Chain A
């Protein structure tokens, strides 16, 4: 076959194919990098993130109580990215706390299912008739106390000292007043509150509660990945407010993934265009060699044998182009890991196996599409 003239369109399609494949492979690799980077950062010991959400309070809904209804909680439970939901229930009566004469204050008590609390000692239990109520408080509270204590002439406390501190809780409501002793049994890094065992709060709300509120103002969500873009967009959509710290990376991830998705799609487009250009080139080639090919068919050469032969000339070129793009992707990944990410252990200098699979897939795709095209054109000559 004559291939000498009009080689420029062939080279254009080769270059286009190379550029498209490279763009596609690099985008996929960066996508995977982001995923690995952000998932490793947020992995908890047991593999879950616990985050609290509340409803956004703005000027329009200020007067409306922003509590989560049962339907809303049930809806959250059905979402694939949510592994558990627990409302944070609050006291519905007045609580006053005295800590062995050091300080006294009105306070709130809340309760949450044990599964959602990071530190639950065995002693965090309460049964009716028990006079000592165990408490889990936020470690932030102890820190805050230690900051302002010296200025107010109060002693600073370690967490062990705090756990030994005798505390009196006075609960009043429905015209009654009950007094309990309380002990801090643990500090929580996760929950920013004063927690009591659920049976205690249930009992107290029933006996002292003034208003029977429906729903909770804050709820905790257990999820595998607090940075999951689906999860974040769902929360945005529902106007739920969320602990920003835990999801800031997720927002960045969302943006970057969108950028790389865009680049990937662009890469796919370039690959498609290059393959189309190459198919035009093949059609031209076959049209120009029409007489010769027709004669070969007449002599007994089979169309499939001929198309295999025609395709064979381009297969090595395709393999070379894709492998070259793969090699460049590998170099870029190494450079990215080494210079931009300072060899962070979450990432690898080697390209991900998915990228290699995609590269192999592209080789197979380009070979099959061209083989089929040539065969179709040859059958038309028969």
Chain B
């Protein structure tokens, strides 16, 4: 996938007037590979709606979203699955881990789907983000901050052209945020991929090429 287009997008549950104040809702936008996109989205502005619309998990919107010119509403279930497997990775705000599985299993389940890294890479990344000792613990026993780092590493296990981050650092201190962001930047560069980073406020450690207020 080379580019992502949003055309006149608006959640069905938002009023038309939102289009006046937002830089994304109701606009025609095109995101290309390699771009660093920062979206500043205060509470209630529809940040999670946007990430879910783009990832294809929710459809309550007007307007169109297309990958490489193809409307995603026309993608079959199987095509969507293969698109998520090969082209787009995501860190959800609510993380979505398997609580009964260990940290390692949670990460490896994504790696096995379409391996971009060898399994040893999981341990390296975990150490770098400070959860190296947690690999064999069940996900539900980890703190929320630890779980956020698990979700970040999991997102880096597959090939992608777009990496979407939905408020990925809410429970991390500043040092940990910077380390995690560095790791993600490296991984995106090695793939020539774009990062779409949606957060409540400005983040100084993210060298964006485009900035939008939602």
Contact = CB atoms under 8 A, between A and B. Distances in A.
A303 B113 contact: no
Report, as a range, how many residues of chain B touch the other chain.
10 to 19
Contacts of B109: 296, 299
B81 A297 contact: yes
Nearest to A304: B78
B62 interface: no
Interface in B101-120: 109-110, 113-114
B78 A292 contact: no
Given A296-B109, A298-B57, A303 B96 contact: no
Interface string B142-180: 000000000000100010000000000000000000000
B138 interface: no
Interface string B75-117: 0011001111100000000001010000000000110011000
Contacts of A69: none
A153 interface: no
A297 to B, nearest CB: 7
A295 B96 contact: yes
Main secondary structure of the interface of A (DSSP, over half): helix
Interface in A285-312: 292, 295-305
A296 B154 CA distance: 12
A203 interface: no
Contacts of A299: 84, 96, 109-110, 113, 154
A382 interface: yes
Contacts of A298: 57, 84, 96
A382 B77 contact: yes
Nearest to B87: A300
A302 B79 CA distance: 8
A299 to B, nearest CB: 6
Given A296-B109, A379-B77, A382-B77, A302 B98 contact: no
A292 B98 CA distance: 7
A292 B113 CA distance: 15
B2 to A, nearest CB: 19
A302 B86 CA distance: 12
Contacts of B78: 302-304
A300 B115 CA distance: 13
B130 to A, nearest CB: 24
Interface in A256-309: 292, 295-305
A332 to B, nearest CB: 46
B96 A300 contact: no
Interface of B: 57, 77-78, 81-85, 96, 98, 109-110, 113-114, 154, 158
The 3 A-B residue pairs with the shortest CB-CB distance in the complex, in nearest-first order: A302-B81, A300-B84, A300-B85
14 contacts: A295-B96, A295-B98, A299-B84, A299-B109, A299-B110, A300-B85, A300-B113, A300-B158, A301-B81, A301-B85, A302-B82, A302-B85, A304-B78, A379-B77
